[in-house]
Amino acid sequence: MSHPSEVPAARDRRRWNPKRQQSRSGTVSGSDVPVVGTGGTALITGASAGIGEALAREFAARGHDVVLAARSERKLARLAEDLETRGVTATPISIDLDRSGAAEELYEEVTKRGLDIDILVNNVGVGTYGPFAKSDLSEERTQLRLNVMLPVELTRLFIDEFDEGGAVINMGSVAGFQPGPNLAGYYASKAYINSFSEALAEEFRGSPVDVTVVCPGPVDTEFQERAGMTDSTVGSVATNSPETVASAAYKGAAAGETVVIPRRSMRLIDRLVRVTPRWVVRRVTALVNQDR
């Protein structure tokens, strides 16, 4: 996928063009991760902890300015202060992303502050654990709003800003490649994001816009505890650190990859799921997702 190598001076914007970024020697770096971090500004949702915080640190370390969106004003302020010691601009925006109209509110706040977003990172998400028939309906709604509607709405709002090049990075999951008894809504929400992202990547093929979906396995964050799944088999196994996922996400998106699955073991599981009878996948996943 090609990217414009220059930006009209009137816009005075630093575009994210890692595949055509020049190194110190003046040569084009191809699909490598940029040597000099002169890319654009990344908006990261759920940036106050876990994978979101790791993503913010990864982008800042690569020389990107970052806009940090999450609920905790205190955590965001502390993170922004830390990131700015790296010589980048970090802008915290405290917002309840679960609230109706949050996507428009965030877009309007970014616009009001005169921030030009080049990379949208839809990271925030939640999970609900247990039999669906016993689930809390309000929690199911929250899961759908944060995991599905919010990234769809933000992508639609910001995509028009990427006329000169940009990227959307969505946080999917290997869970989205299979049904997940006892995490039915969560697995289904990630299936949506995985499919949505791949479809958009094809729609934008040949344009200056890249779309990448990152599909990790279990990650060592507070997610399992918040989802109430610490007593489950899958909840006790964390195969990725947030930093591993963030690094893979950045490198994969910089290389123009559509689907990024951190760790070889998760890529193997993905391949096995694709060739295993669905009834076997359902049974095995149910066993893995049940309480120990």
pLDDT given for residue 102 in this prediction: 97
pLDDT given for residue 17 in this prediction: 53
d(CA 269, CA 83): 35
Show me where the domains of the chain are located.
Answer: 38-289
Q: Which two tokens stand for residue 162?
A: 């990427």
How far, rounded to the nearest angstrom, does the alpha carbon of residue 271 sit from its chain's CA centroid? 22
How many residues are present in the chain? 292
Catalytic residue among 107, 190, 192, 250: 190
- Is pLDDT at 232 greater than 60 in this prediction? no
Mean pLDDT of 128-141: 92
Lowest mean pLDDT among 85-89, 131-135, 138-142, 223-227: 223-227
pLDDT in tens, 42-69: 999 999 999 999 999 999 999 999 999 9
Reported pTM: 0.81
CA neighbor of 177 nearest in space, from 159, 196, 160, 194 = 194
75 is catalytic: no
d(CA 227, CA 138): 14
Domain 38-289, classified CATH 3.40.718.10, yes or no:
no
Catalytic residue among 107, 186, 187, 250: 186
pLDDT in tens, 148-174: 999 999 999 999 988 888 899 999 999
DSSP string computed for 24-79: TTS-B-TTSPPSS-----EEEETTTSHHHHHHHHHHHHTT--EEEEES-HHHHHHH
